[in-house]
């Protein structure tokens, strides 16, 4: 038996006996010797992931899972992916009305009474009396129970759908002064590890006045950007996210061109976001909201895009190439108002002239 087999046998025996620290101590030195490209390296890391999870060292387990996701064996990558989803799953928030609360005064009073009764009854009764009388037939569940059960079931589905929601807001009403907002909402009791790393790296490259962080919310606000700066900022965010979730996210592409008319300009936008390599990690919900100066017109129909007057709500689908093409008018208001005033003056002059031509209908004096 080789030295490797001896160490593996000892580690498996320690794992079965619940001796997780001893198992970790045996296998940790072998990580540098056996890489993830070997069967031995895969087996060592699988045992270590189980041991580390047993003593709540989740971050180290996640790190080993990410190493296995880059393995050359497809079945190892799939197994590591499934383990990573389990390790990344935190506890959900529990509403207050799900917990049953007892008043302390009532509980203490009943507890003292039962304690005193038991103190004197223990000496008299040595055995529990069992009655032979039947308790009656088993009754079916009432309608109220079924209603409560269905309500709780629907609430759980609602909580589990979209545990992380990401909203990107593009305000194009200023045309050359674009406002960009990134908002991340979490429905978990605690933020996911990749989410915390993502927020920390964004704080390092952005001024603190542009960032707001709460227990459930992360908000980044950028103001006064041109189209190129907006594109660069979004790509920086995508690169940081790509590094944290070990997925190659491609840069967003924003193309804009315009047509000049007498009373304004017509702008045409095309935005392309390729997320074909992004898996639906932790039930992500991603939206891009685009606010335009006037009513937006969609060049191509898309079931994931809704338009409400000048606002476009675009749902981003992971694992697909997301694309939108739209246009809107940007009116020259000063020219429109000047033209309206000029027309009003001309109209008034025309009415005055016609009035003088018709005369006042009064009798004229003899010449």
Mean pLDDT of all residues in 346-365: 73
Please name the CATH architecture into which domain 3-87 falls.
Alpha Horseshoe (1.25)
Mean pLDDT throughout 9-33? 86
Banded model confidence at residue 221, pLDDT cuts 50, 70, 90: very high
Query: Per-residue confidence at 253, pLDDT binned at 50, 70, 90?
Result: very high
Spatial distance between the Cα atoms of 81 and 246, rounded to a whole number of angstroms: 11
Rounded CA-CA distance 48/280 in Å is 27
- Mean pLDDT score, 144-152: 57
Enter the DSSP assignment of 364. Answer: P
What's the token pair of residue 81?
């992916």
Note the pLDDT of residue 252: 92
Q: Chain-wide mean pLDDT for the chain?
A: 77
| pLDDT score of 95 | 53
289 pLDDT higher than 90: yes
CB 189 within 8 A of CB 92: yes
pLDDT in tens, 290-305: 999 888 888 888 888 9
Q: Which residues contact 55 (CB under 8 A, 6 or more apart)?
A: 20, 21, 24
Flag whether the pTM goes above 0.75: no
What is the structure's pLDDT at 213? Answer: 85
* Percentage of the residues of the chain whose pLDDT score is greater than 90: 13
Q: Which residue has the higher pLDDT, 161 or 350?
A: 350
Whether the per-residue pLDDT at 361 is higher than 60: the answer is: no
Mean pLDDT of 259-279: 88
Q: Where in the sequence of the chain do the CATH 1.25.40 domains occur?
A: 3-87
286, pLDDT greater than 60 = yes
- Angle subtended at Cα 14 by Cα 11 and Cα 20, rounded to the nearest 5 degrees: 95
Kindly report the backbone phi and psi dihedral angles of residue 298, in degrees, each rounded to the nearest multiple of 5, phi listed first: -90, 125
Show the tokens assigned to 42.
Answer: 């895969």
* 322 Cα distance to chain centroid: 17
Q: How far is it, in rounded angstroms, from Cα 165 to Cα 59?
A: 23
Helix or strand run (H / E) with residue 102:
none
Name the strands in the sheet holding 164-171, side by side, starting at the edge strand that comes first in the sequence: 211-213, 217-225, 178-186, 164-171, 284-291, 311-316, 305-308
Residue 151 or 272, more confident: 272
Mean pLDDT of 224-228: 89
For residue 139, report the phi and psi dihedrals to the nearest 5 degrees: -95, 145
**pLDDT by residue (tens digit) across 44-99?**
888 888 888 888 888 888 888 888 887 788 888 888 888 877 777 655 454 555 55
pLDDT given for residue 116 in this prediction = 46
Residue keyed to tokens 């129909």: 301
Three-state SS annotation for 77-101? HHHHHHHHHHHCCCCECCCHHHCCC
Instruction: Report d(CA 314, CA 272) in Å as an integer.
Output: 12
| pLDDT bracket for residue 323 (50, 70, 90) | very high
**Sheet hosting strand 264-274, strand order edge to edge:** 253-260, 264-274, 321-331, 297-298
């Amino acid at each position: 038996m080789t030295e490797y087999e001896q160490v593996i046998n000892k580690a498996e025996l320690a794992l079965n006996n619940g001796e997780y620290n001893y198992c970790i101590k045996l296998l940790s030195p072998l990580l540098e010797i056996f890489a993830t490209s070997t069967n031995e390296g895969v087996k060592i890391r699988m045992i270590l992931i189980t041991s580390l999870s047993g003593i709540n060292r989740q971050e180290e387990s996640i790190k080993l899972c990410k190493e296995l996701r880059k393995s050359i064996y497809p079945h190892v990558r799939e197994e590591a992916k499934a383990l990573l989803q389990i390790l990344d799953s935190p506890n959900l928030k529990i509403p207050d009305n799900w917990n049953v609360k007892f008043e302390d005064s009532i509980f203490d009073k009943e507890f003292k009474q039962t304690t005193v009764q038991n103190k004197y009854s223990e000496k008299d009764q040595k055995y529990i009396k069992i009655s032979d009388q039947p308790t009656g037939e088993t009754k079916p569940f009432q309608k109220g129970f079924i209603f409560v059960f269905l309500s709780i079931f629907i609430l759980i589905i609602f909580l589990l759908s979209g545990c992380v929601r990401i909203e990107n807001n593009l305000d194009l009403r200023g045309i050359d002064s674009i406002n960009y907002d990134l908002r991340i909402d979490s429905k978990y009791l605690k933020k996911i590890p990749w989410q915390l790393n993502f927020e920390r790296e964004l704080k390092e490259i952005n001024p603190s006045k542009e960032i707001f962080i709460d227990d459930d919310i992360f908000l980044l606000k950028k103001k006064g950007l041109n189209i190129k700066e907006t594109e660069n900022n979004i790509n920086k965010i995508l690169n940081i996210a790509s590094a944290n979730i070990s997925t190659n996210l491609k840069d967003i592409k924003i193309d804009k061109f315009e047509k000049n008319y007498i009373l304004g300009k017509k702008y045409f936008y095309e935005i392309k976001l390729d997320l074909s390599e992004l898996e639906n990690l932790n039930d992500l919900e991603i939206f891009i909201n685009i606010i335009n100066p006037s009513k937006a017109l969609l060049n191509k129909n898309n079931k994931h895009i809704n338009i409400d007057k000048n606002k476009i709500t675009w749902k981003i689908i992971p694992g697909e190439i997301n694309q939108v093409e739209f246009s809107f008018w940007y009116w020259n208001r000063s020219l429109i108002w000047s033209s309206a005033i000029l027309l009003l003056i001309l109209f008034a002059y025309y009415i005055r002239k016609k009035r003088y031509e018709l005369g006042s209908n009064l009798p004229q004096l003899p010449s």
